[in-house]
């Protein structure tokens, strides 16, 4: 029923946001163990990792770069946290909640980091922009671009395009580059059918030119200032500005040349 689903959703959120991973703890087939496996679906977590709910641990705030030492002692079933450095009296002690982008930090914990090194920009509107607005000569007119989109779907690459991201660590996600190489490919390049790596100098430059044009279009969108002193609106503005900064840094790094 709806109440059961609400309680399950709450429990899942608690596991995702309030638990830590341990490879030292034995896996158990209890309620937390089941939730751990459910929460790990699609997140690439090793099956040998167990999630543990440790009372009071989540009272310690997160900071990227903090390196506390977590340990579990199976002899008395206890966890301990040791600082990685000396702290001054009264100085706040931090742990890390893991390498999380601002989407995860905001949805799970309600805060974000202005210069989060793990932050990403989801290019969720790229497909629509490619079909309706892209003017690169390799892509042709709108009818040709729609045909290219259909071809991507036949090749099983459309979802990779739609889930493409920009990150501070990798610039453009490998799946995004693969899908775009196929999108701009000539009939000869399509016949070879390998797009996980560079196809040709011209193909790669076309991909980067398209990404550059799309990023410029995204940065040209005006971000409106909050209309009130509502802290939620202020947080949304900070989130959008932090995301925009991820895009801007691509131009500083000069990544648009093949």
Q: What is the reported pLDDT for 184? A: 96
With CA atoms as reference, report the closest residue to 165 among 208, 209, 211, 122.
122
The residue-averaged pLDDT of 29-51 equals: 51
Residue 232 has pLDDT above 80, yes or no: yes
User: CA 188, CA 92: separation in Å to the nearest integer?
Assistant: 60
User: CA 197, CA 208: separation in Å to the nearest integer?
Assistant: 14
User: CA 139, CA 143: separation in Å to the nearest integer?
Assistant: 10
pLDDT tens figures, 209-222: 999 999 999 999 99
pLDDT tens figures, 51-70: 778 888 888 888 888 888 87
pLDDT tens figures, 160-169: 999 999 999 8
Give the lowest-confidence range in 34-43, 47-56, 110-119, 191-200: 34-43
Summary mean pLDDT of the chain: 86
Q: What is the reported pLDDT for 22? A: 63
Q: What is the reported pLDDT for 29? A: 52
With CA atoms as reference, report the closest residue to 81 among 58, 113, 49, 109.
58
Signed CA dihedral, 19, 25, 31, 34: sign only: positive
Q: What is the reported pLDDT for 83? A: 84
Q: What is the reported pLDDT for 64? A: 86
CA distances from 198 to 55, 151, 156, 177, 203 (A): 49, 19, 18, 9, 8
Residue 42 has pLDDT above 50, yes or no: no
Reported confidence tier of residue 24, pLDDT bands at 50, 70, 90: low
Q: What is the reported pLDDT for 16? A: 79
pLDDT tens figures, 70-129: 777 777 878 888 888 888 999 998 888 888 999 999 988 889 998 999 999 999 999 999
Q: What is the reported pLDDT for 65? A: 83
**Pairs from 68-73 (Cβ < 8 Å, separation ≥ 24):** 68/94, 68/95, 68/96, 70/20, 70/22, 71/24, 72/22, 72/24, 72/25
How many C-beta atoms lie closer than 10 Å to residue 149's C-beta?
16
Length of the chain: 258
Owner of token pair 């946290």 = 81
Strand partners, 72: 79
């Amino acid at each position: 029923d709806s109440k059961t689903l609400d309680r399950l959703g709450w429990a899942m959120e608690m596991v995702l946001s309030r638990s830590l991973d341990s490879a030292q703890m034995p896996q158990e087939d209890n309620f937390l163990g089941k939730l751990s496996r459910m929460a790990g679906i699609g997140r690439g977590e090793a099956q040998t990792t167990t999630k543990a709910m440790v009372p009071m641990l989540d009272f310690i705030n997160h900071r990227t770069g903090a390196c506390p030492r977590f340990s579990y002692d199976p002899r008395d079933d206890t966890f301990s946290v040791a600082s990685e450095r000396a702290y001054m009296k009264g100085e706040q002690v931090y742990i890390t909640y893991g390498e999380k982008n601002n989407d995860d930090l905001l949805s799970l914990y309600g805060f974000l980091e202005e210069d989060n090194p793990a932050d990403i920009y989801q290019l969720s509107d790229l497909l629509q922009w490619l079909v309706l607005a892209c003017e690169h000569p390799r892509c042709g007119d709108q009818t040709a671009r729609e045909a290219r989109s259909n071809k991507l779907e036949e090749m099983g690459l459309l979802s990779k395009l739609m889930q493409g991201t920009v990150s501070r660590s990798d610039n453009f996600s490998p799946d995004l580059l693969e899908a775009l190489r196929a999108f701009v490919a000539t009939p000869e390049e399509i016949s070879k059918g390998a797009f996980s790596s560079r196809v040709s100098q011209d193909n790669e430059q076309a991909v980067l030119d398209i990404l550059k044009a799309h990023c410029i279009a995204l940065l040209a969108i005006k971000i409106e200032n909050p209309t009130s002193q509502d802290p939620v609106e202020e947080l949304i503005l900070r989130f959008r500005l932090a995301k925009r900064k991820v895009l801007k840094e691509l131009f500083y790094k000069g990544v648009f040349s093949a």
